[in-house]
Amino acid sequence: LAGAFLGGWLADRIGSITVQKASLAVCGVLLVFLGQVRSAWGILALLFSLALFAGMLYPANATSMSHVCPPELRVKGFALNRLANNLGATIGPAVGGVLALRDYRLLFWADGLTSLVAAGVFVLVWRGAGLKGAAGTPDSAGEGGVGLNGHDGQLRERAEESDGGSAAGVNARGPESSPGSMAAAPVVAKPRSPWRDRPFLLLMLIFLLWSAVFIQVLTTFPLYMRNVYGLAENRIGQLFAVNTVLIVLLEMILMEKIRKYPLVRMINLSFILLGVGLGLMPLGRGFAFAGLTVAIWTFGEMLSMPLVTALIAGRADDTTRGRYMGMFSFSFSLAFIISPAVGTAIYERFGGDAVWVVCAAVCLLLAAAFSALRPYLAGVGPQQLE
């Protein structure tokens, strides 16, 4: 949690590339030492330091992606980043299993050295670059804003003169347009601090709850598949493989196919798909039915993560984007703490089926809440939440 805030703050101060270089290099060294230490206090200190510096990586990485990708390509950029993460998460355990059979200490050496190699790649590719945001450089008209009416920058935050060409009259609703076309919106001053951006804080609350639901897939889902569906561990692993294969094969294609649709509808659809996929689980049994539910919520995951990240990137300007991404990372990390405890408590008290009914209901409520919040995120609405 502390690493997320610190990484975002430092990304705005010294540059996102610099933060990533430091995070990877320090984590590499700490991982090597972690494999050698035997003292309980030493392990505790190293784990805390490792969590701190590892937590700095994501907000800095998301900030640099926002800087190097033009607004119209951010959604694809974040999707490609997720693709790389999923490939690594698939290869890593397989390699780790082989190393663990030989010597567990090799895991720490391999993990540490790969982090140091990644830091070296950053040094070579981004020599002398820090990617520190320039003051007062928000996404401008022509480069896309939050993309709420046809994403990838298709919402231009600009003012339109009203009847007679008076600069005082701003059409708050914007001209009628077909789905996916650009729509006019008033120029909105972007807050300098995410803490004072109330629509963003509400969005983070929505994302926190979404993350808490999604994390049930990593915690309660395997338990439910084993105890209720009667699936063996290898079959449960195959269900997770369905998720990974779909992401690797289809996510980039999906991002291209949905470009013509409004971003708000796609994010709403992602909430609904996650809720439907999880909510269907009590209604069937067997590996094939479980695979169908996994496919449904995987499409929700594929839509949600890159689109919400791109939305947040467009919400901030270049001087605050790191802090915005830090809060984004913080909400996901906080969900990792809260979600397993809540999910398992519901499971033990009311049964496994109740977990997925609650998840489905929460997702539908989140879709409604996001629809209500959308005008304020776009700067189009009866008032700003100041």
- Would you state the pLDDT for residue 299? 94
Q: State whether 217 and 97 are in the same domain.
A: no
The answer on 227 and 108 residing in a single domain is no
**Whether residue 212 is found in the same domain as residue 112:** no
What pLDDT score does 221 carry?
Answer: 93
Both 219 and 303 in a single domain?
Answer: yes
Looking at the domain assignment, is residue 142 inside a domain?
no
Question: 358 and 223: one domain?
Answer: yes
Q: Does residue 237 form part of some domain?
A: yes
Is position 266 within any domain? yes
Beta bridge mates, 157: 185
Look up the domain containing 102 and give its range: 2-125
281 found inside a domain: yes
CATH number of the domain encompassing residue 208: 1.20.1250.20
Per-residue pLDDT of the chain (386 residues; tens, 9 = 90+): 787 888 888 888 888 888 889 999 999 999 999 888 888 898 899 999 988 998 888 888 888 888 888 877 888 888 888 888 878 877 877 788 788 888 888 888 988 899 999 889 888 887 755 555 544 433 432 233 333 333 333 333 322 333 333 333 323 333 333 333 323 333 345 546 788 888 889 999 999 999 999 999 999 999 999 999 999 888 888 898 888 889 988 888 888 888 888 888 899 999 999 999 999 999 989 999 999 999 999 999 999 888 888 888 888 777 888 888 888 888 888 998 999 999 999 999 999 899 999 999 999 999 999 988 887 775 433 333 33
**Counting Cβ atoms within 10 Å, is residue 227 exposed (0-12), middle (13-18) or buried (19+)?**
exposed
Asked whether residue 143 is assigned to any structural domain, the reply reads no
The tokens for 31 are 């991982």
User: Among residues 125, 159, 181, which one ends one of the domains?
Assistant: 125
Contact call for residues 150 and 180 (beta carbons, < 8 A): yes
**What's the residue count for the chain?**
386
Tokens standing for 141? 């008209």
Q: Are residues 203 and 321 in the same domain?
A: yes
What letter does residue 139 receive in the DSSP assignment? P
* Domain match, 229 and 369 both: yes
Q: Is residue 173 part of a domain?
A: no
Which distant-in-sequence residues (6+ apart) come within 8 Å of 200 by Cβ? Answer: 191, 194, 312, 315, 324, 327, 377
Say if residue 242 is in the same domain as residue 355: yes
Question: Which residue is associated with the tokens 């338990």?
Answer: 223
**Boundary-marking domain end, from 106, 125, 144:** 125
**Residue type at position 201:** L
Helices (H), 177-262: 198-214, 216-227, 233-257
Domain count, the chain: 2
63 in Cβ contact with 131 (< 8 Å): yes
- Cross-strand partners of 161: 170
218 domain-assigned:
yes
- For residue 176, tell me if it sits in a domain: no
Which residues are paired to 317 by β-bridges? Answer: 138
3-state secondary structure of 60: helix
pTM confidence score: 0.74
| CA dihedral (258, 261, 266, 267) positive or negative | positive
- Clarify whether residues 354 and 226 are in a common domain: yes
How far, in whole angstroms, is CA 167 from its chain's centroid?
Answer: 39
Same domain, 224 and 103: no
Domain boundary among 97, 125, 153: 125
> What is the structure's pLDDT at 176?
34
Q: Say what the pLDDT of residue 131 is.
A: 57
Are 274 and 363 a contacting pair, CB within 8 Å?
Answer: yes
The pLDDT score that the predictor gives to residue 185 is 34
Same domain, 198 and 306: yes
Looking at the fold, whether 211 and 75 belong to one and the same domain comes out as: no
